[in-house]
Chain A
Amino acid sequence: MLREGDARIPSGCAISGIFSKAGKRMSGEAIIKSIAVMHERSNGLGGGFAAYGIYPAYKELYALHIFYDNTGAKKECEEFLERHFDIVNLSKIPTRKVKEVTDEPLIWRYFVAPLPTKLAESQLDEREFTVQCVFRINTRITGAYVFSSGKDMGVFKAVGYPEDIGRFYRLEEYEGYCFTAHGRYPTNTPGWWGGAHPFALLDYSVIHNGEISSYDANRRAIEMHGYKCSLQTDTEVITYIIDYLHRKHGLTYKEIASVIAAPFWQTIGRMEPAERAEHEYLRIMFAAQLITGPFSIIVGFAGGLLALNDRLKLRSMVVGEKGDMCYVASEEAAIRVIEPDLDAVWAPSGGQLVMFRLHGGDE
Chain B
Amino acid sequence: MKVVPSRSSEWVRPVTSQRPASTIIEIDRVSQVFQTSARKDHLALSDISLTIEEGAFVSILGPSGCGKSTLLYIVGGFVSPTTGAAKMKGQAITGPGPDRGPVFQEFALFPWKTVLGNVMYGPRQQGVRANEAEVQSRALIEMVGLKGYENFYPKELSGGMKQRVALARTLAYHPEVLLMDEPFGALDAHTRTRLQNDLLNIWERDRKTVLFVTHSVDEAVFLSDKVVMMSKSPGRIREVIEIDLPRPRRRNELLLDPRYQKCVVDIERMFDESDKVGSPS
Asked if chains A and B come from one complex, the reply is no
